[in-house]
Structure 1
Amino acid sequence: MRASGVLMHLSSLPSPYGIGTMGAAARAFVDFLAAAGQRYWQLLPICPTSYGDSPYQSFSTFAGNPYLIDLDALAADGLLRSEEYRSIDWESTPDRVNYGALYQKRWAVLRKACDRLLQDSPAAYTDFCRDNAFWLPDYALFMALKDEHGGRAWSEWEPALRHREPAALAAARIRCAGAIRFWQAVQYLFFAQWRALKRYANDRGIRIIGDLPIYVSADSVDVWSTPEAFQLDENLLPTEVAGCPPDGFSATGQLWGNPLYDWDAMARDGYAWWVRRFRVLCSTYDVLRIDHFRGFAGYYAIPYGQTDACGGHWRPGPGIELFKAVEKALGKRDILAEDLGFLTDDVRQLLRESGYPGMKVLEFAFDSRDGGDYLPHTYPRHCVVYTGTHDNEPVNGWFETAPAADIAHALDYLQLTREEGYHWGMMRAAWASVADLAIVQAQDLLGLGHEARMNTPSTLGGNWCWRALPGVFDDALAAKVRHQMELYGRMNP
């Protein structure tokens, strides 16, 4: 069935409290999507952010981001008083998130809410802790210990804690009991609001597409609690780290720095860690996008300590056996594969064997360095087309920054006009294509440019900050988009 959706992270929603949340603005955006004939809302990972504010570098693959908890909803539940948060200066502009101010000011507000929650300790909270016992205690202890160590990475803790010696962990659980309860409570609040938002969306015919980053952060509870699943040395430091090789886009490649999985060790227990991860995320979202799918066919390994990606080499990934294990345990699930980047025959074969739809990025179609496979006339039906992703410019930003020859190619191929707006012509091309699913960035619906770019890979600072202004997703825009859905057979029935 042909369908359409919008890529818009929760943090980018309007809010008077410094960052988009799972509150009224999120429900209003769901209403906009429904009115616009959309079927899908795609999000970036909703896990906690860490250094650099990237949702792809998190302290936990299972936890939710406390910044996204809606404060007004906490007040409505009797967990906050309005004067405890409405008078705070979040030091942000309406179109940008100030993560530094959130770090300094949000936690004190959330602690007040958690203190009140824990005074009553409702049955729902007890049930949540029981149902999430496979990850929540380790996460809460990890975060409590980070607090105790001034936020330092776990690799800098004393050896007994780094190596998780039982006596050291037992003592820490007693010593940090109050902090552990806080970190458990804040996760309960997050997922209570998440379930309510997802239910609201599903009741209105909107399905949520979530994101599974292939790698986890070195400074994460995932690596600390299961070091045997990663390529670490006797000091629990990575032997090699993740990244991408040099190419036409980057002369020195991309050095991500994530620890690599020990795929041989994971295969021996039937990929149990991955099965659990898929199980949790497939229940969290309606559809799951697998980030960096090519890394499951073969991954780029860079010796630990290198300053760029030039000295890396390719190693084989788990291949189809991983996805067979997931399907055997969970059955068929709605999964999309982000098959962008350096594609080789083994990646294409893995995509075919998995049966997952791959991705096409319309902006890539006109890149003179690497474009042919992304031109709309080459698309199969079984794919998802994007105008751009969070790692790309909004369409108008692309026209501001792309080489003149690439722009000329796009104008000629798509017959774009300034009268219609280049962004509308590009979105129309995605909607008109044979791809089963078309996703556009929210920035493209709004006609925004480079200033609204979500992320520029391999850069630090200024990323993940864009926010939409209040009132921009209005009835007129919904009606205009809905008409396009009717024209191109993508209406949500």
Structure 2
Amino acid sequence: MIIKKRSSGILLHITSLPSPYGIGDLGPEAYKFADLLAEAGQRYWQILPLNPTETGSGNSPYSSHSAFAGNPLLLSPQLLLEDGLLHHHDLEHTDFSFRDDKVMYEEVTRLKHRICLQAYENFRTQPSTELRTQFAAFIREHSEWIEDYGQYVAFKNHFEHKSWVDWADEIKYRQERPMLELAHELAMEIEREQFLQFLFYRQWENLKKYCNKQQIYLIGDMPFYVSHDSADIWSHPHYFKLDGTGQPVASSGVPPDYFSETGQLWGTPVFDWEALEKQNFDWWVRRISHNLRLFDLLRLDHFRAFSAYWEVPASERTAINGKWVSSPGAKILSIVKIKHPEMPIIAEDLGEIDEPVRDLMQQFDLPGMRLLIFAFGDDMPRNAYTPHNHIKNSIIYTGTHDNYTMRGWFETQASYDDKSRLGHYTNTHLTADNVHEVMGRLAYGSVAQLAVLPLQDVLGLGAEATMNKPSTTDHNWEWRLKPGLFDWHQAQKLQKLMWLYNR
């Protein structure tokens, strides 16, 4: 069991932290939040993927143009200032007035882009010998992906932000001489993108060290699929089911179910497992190992696809006419286990899960997830998410980033019968004001070894604080924690609950 002690944690993505620059970042507020977690008796801080986001993809951290790169929007201007890469006058004049409860992505992207350009320019014109040495070491350490990533971003800008399938053929198909010539022409832009990655990883690793020193351990998240228009697929097209022009011949998704008559069509290409196996799944293993360096525990999103996944022909407009295809997840995880014997991995096993998925989890002793928001339907007594059916090797949540907050669920989604069952189960008179506390206590009282609450549920916030509403594209991933809303008083209350439930 990877979680050795009965413990608890908080789910809050980096973008949701307070900051004067319109989006949470890896700067002072992240360190302050780690201090509050320690004061609250928490041992885990769970976040969403750290990969670059784009406004064209709805700013989703699960849809990125790189499976290895970090998001430059999360760079802290204050820390760049301390490093001498920015000067005070670089930050004095901003044309934006940011909200403190929402991320305004378009405005934030413009501001952070300007700041990043300035930081690189200052580095280039007044290079610090120490920083230059560290940068060179970073390039060597991350050589397996950083060159392709830098070229992809620079080339994409050169080709007016078109998808790589619409680039000039010699670059699209990675012909050696034309690529070298274009890379030479765009050398400064490529170095800038690589330098921003160096800064990101530097800031992240320093924050992780600080958290670990406080005995706060970081839980990260890794999507199963990668975006079609990404550095990964451009540089490794043979690992994906593509046609001769680079277009997918099959797409990912999930079949029709209770929530959707037509299923979900995600649009990301599926993997060519035969090609990957010929290379001993090297790309997959590197990807998981890369994330295990970033985090203390790694949640594998859409874990059921490590057993079998829903594959839909590219010509289809819905997910109805797909089929289940077996995947070599056991082979991949066996190789990972050799490299990481402790297997610090969490399986995201939500939704329709069959016995082969359960067997795979058991084979590698991976904890799964239990969500209280799904526990109080018609089948409550037998429901695996109901507290009396929990198991020790699992992680209990009130809900995740994809669910309404507990208050929002109570006010807008829960039926009269759902509320009645929850009230009977807890012998409590439920109200919108106390449902988050009731559900929080159920989570803490569970036999599950780890209890994780979204910070919104700790604070009792309503539906307006929901992070993501699946199957919608507008105004997701925007919620931010207002300054001072989670403070030492809140931390002390949590600490008392940790003592009460032996967490």
The aligned residue for residue 361 of structure 2 is 351
Counterpart AA for 2:416: A
| 1:380-438 superposed Cα distances (whole Å, 9 cap, x missing partner) | 10000111111111111111222222222222223343397110110110000000000
CA-CA distance at 1:363 after TM superposition: 0.4
Is residue 206 from structure 1 mapped to residue 216 from structure 2 by the alignment? yes
Q: 2:86 maps to which residue?
A: 80
Please tell me whether the aligned partners of residues 433 and 460 of structure 2 are also in contact (alpha carbons under 8 angstroms).
Answer: no
- Whether the 8 Å CA contact 2:308–2:324 is kept in 1: the answer is yes
1:445 — aligned with what?
458
Report SS of the residue matched to 2:20.
coil
TM-score by length of 2: 0.95
Q: Report if aligned partners of 1:282, 1:333 keep a CA contact under 8 Å in 2.
A: no
Q: CA deviation at 1:369?
A: 8.1
SS in structure 2 opposite 1:85?
helix
> Is 1:422–2:426 an aligned residue pair?
no
Q: Which amino acid aligns with 1:440?
A: L
Matches of 1:368 and 1:151 in 2, distance apart? 50
- For 1:28, the equivalent position in structure 2 comes to 32
1:123 paired to 2:159: no
Contact 1:91 1:98 in 2 (8 A): no
Equivalent positions of 1:260-275 (< 5 A) are 260-275=270-285
Establish whether residue 110 from structure 1 lines up as the match of residue 116 from structure 2: yes
CA deviation after TM superposition for structure 1 residue 306, in Å: 2.4
Q: Which amino acid aligns with 1:393?
A: Y
Report matched runs for 1:297-316 at 5 Å.
Answer: 297-316=307-326
Which of the numbers 201, 219, 222 marks the counterpart of 2:229? 219
Q: C-alpha root-mean-square deviation of aligned residues, in Å?
A: 1.5
* 2:349 alignment partner in structure 1: 339
d(CA) in 2 for partners of 1:37 and 1:86? 38
Distance 1:49 1:419, change over 3 A: closer
Task: Give the corresponding residue for 1:240.
Answer: 250
Question: Match of 1:463?
Answer: 476
Q: State the alpha-carbon separation in 2 of the partners of residues 459 and 156 from structure 1.
A: 28
Secondary structure at the residue paired with 1:471?
coil
**Do 2:407 and 2:432's aligned partners in 1 also have CA atoms closer than 8 Å?**
no
State which of 161, 164, 182 in structure 1 corresponds to 2:192.
182
Give 1:104 deviation, angstroms. 2.4
Partner of 1:70: 76
Structure 1 contact 117–185 (Cα < 8 Å) conserved: no
- d(CA) in 1 for partners of 2:469, 2:70: 24
Distance 1:380 1:369, change over 3 A: closer
* Equivalent residues of 1:91, 1:101 under 8 A apart: no
Shift of 1:162: 1.4
CA distance in 1, matches of 2:377, 2:97: 39
Task: Verify the 8 A CA contact 1:118 1:185 in the aligned structure 2.
Answer: no
**Structure 2 partner of 1:413:** 425
Name stretches of at least 5 consecutive residues in structure 1 with no aligned partner.
none
Q: 1:97–1:467: 8 Å Cα contact kept in structure 2?
A: yes
**Pair 1:53 & 2:59 matched:** yes
Q: Which amino acid aligns with 1:147?
A: N
The SS at the match of 1:306 is: coil
Task: Assess if the C-alpha contact under 8 Å between 1:210 and 1:289 holds in 2.
Answer: yes
Q: Return the TM-score normalized by structure 1.
A: 0.97
Distance (Å, rounded) in 1 between the aligned partners of 2:96 and 2:447: 45
Where does residue 159 of structure 1 map in the other structure?
169
476 and 262 in structure 1: CA distance in 2 versus 1, 3 angstrom threshold? same
Unaligned runs of 5+ in 2: none
* Partner Cα separation in structure 1 for residue 244 and residue 370 of structure 2: 42
In structure 2, the residue matched to 1:330 is 340
Q: Which amino acid aligns with 2:25?
A: T
Does the Cα contact within 8 Å between 1:266 and 1:272 map onto a contact in 2?
A: yes
2:386 is aligned, of 362, 365, 375, to 375
Would you say 1:296 and 2:300 are equivalent positions? no
Shift of 1:487: 0.4
Counterpart CA distance in 1 for 2:379 and 2:102 is 32
Q: Distance in 1 between matches of 2:432 and 2:15?
A: 32
1:83: how far off? 2.7
Between the aligned residues of both structures, percent identity stands at 41
Q: 1:484 to 1:75 in 2, by over 3 A?
A: same
Q: Following TM superposition, where does structure 1 have runs of at least 4 consecutive aligned residues deviating by more than 6 angstroms?
A: none
